[in-house]
Amino acid sequence: MLLSTLTGGDLAFCAVVLAIAYVVRGLAGFGSGLISIPLLALRLPLQAVVPLVVLLDYIASFSQSLASRREVRWRELLPLLPFTLIGVIAGVLILKTVSADAMSHALGAFVLFFAFYQFFGLEVTGGYSKAWAALAGSSGGLIGTLFGTGGPFYIIYFRLRGLDKSELRATFAATFLIDGSGRLVGYAAADLFTRDFLLTALAALPVMAVALYVGGHIHTRISPRTFQRAISLLLVGSGLALLLK
């Protein structure tokens, strides 16, 4: 993906999408990949979009985990890691062999599924066994590597384990630092990090940084339920657009 090949309209579209995604991440602590990747994939190749957003998310997670490192629940995070690694390896192998159209349609289907799950607000409660780490870790690693949207699997797992909001945000950020390291190594091994790619990521950094700051300092009166449903509707639109692309 080259900056020089993007039109003014493409650049404006990408900037707006990234701004919205990272404002949401600043507010909620997660969600940037789930929002930005399906929308960016409407205009740009998915194989370029996913590594770009994963790299930006990695930087965002680093800053967030530093600020809240004392609230990380390491005993909940560590059981995920072996299974996450398996998912990452499988994802890199698939990424090299599956066609772009098939990937876009699969991403659209996944985004739609998650949007409906979130819209109807299916509740999960704590007290579940750590045995669920196998499913959450492998699914998060696989889907995260393929589509950059593995976060929901980790979020659901941490909710099943009963983490409160601040612990969940901090532990998710730390999880992504470790998970994201594996993904970035895999992308580098697959020769996806070209000089032009890195220049594109560098150009996106200021948008991400400003949006994260704004999201972290917004005091909104919107209820969490209304906020969640608004994001779900946005995801329905982007998921349908990818399926029809």
What pLDDT shows up at residue 44? 87
Cβ atoms of 58 and 177 within 8 Å: the answer is yes
What pLDDT shows up at residue 1? 55
Residue with tokens 């339920």: 225
Residue 178 C-beta-side C-alpha neighbours within 13 Å? 19
Q: Distance (Å, rounded) from C-alpha 128 to C-alpha 147?
A: 27
Among candidates 29, 33, 28, which has minimal Cα distance to 18?
33
Among candidates 243, 242, 230, 244, which has minimal Cα distance to 115?
230
What pLDDT shows up at residue 79? 92
What pLDDT shows up at residue 121? 66
**Two tokens, residue 237:** 């639109």
What pLDDT shows up at residue 40? 92
Taking the chain (245 residues) in consecutive chunks of 10 residues, what is each chunk's mean pLDDT? 75 94 84 87 86 90 75 90 91 82 84 81 68 90 84 85 83 85 85 86 93 80 74 82 79
Query: For 68-194, where are the alpha helices, taking DSSP H only?
Result: 74-77, 81-95, 100-119, 133-147, 151-160, 165-189
Specify the pTM: 0.79
What pLDDT shows up at residue 4? 67
Among candidates 169, 58, 47, which has minimal Cα distance to 100?
47
Instruction: Please write down the HEC assignment for all residues of 96-131.
Output: CCCCHHHHHHHHHHHHHHHHHHHHCCCCCCCCCCHH
Q: Distance (Å, rounded) from C-alpha 164 to C-alpha 39?
A: 30
What pLDDT shows up at residue 156? 84
Q: Distance (Å, rounded) from C-alpha 60 to C-alpha 54?
A: 10
Q: Distance (Å, rounded) from C-alpha 135 to C-alpha 115?
A: 20
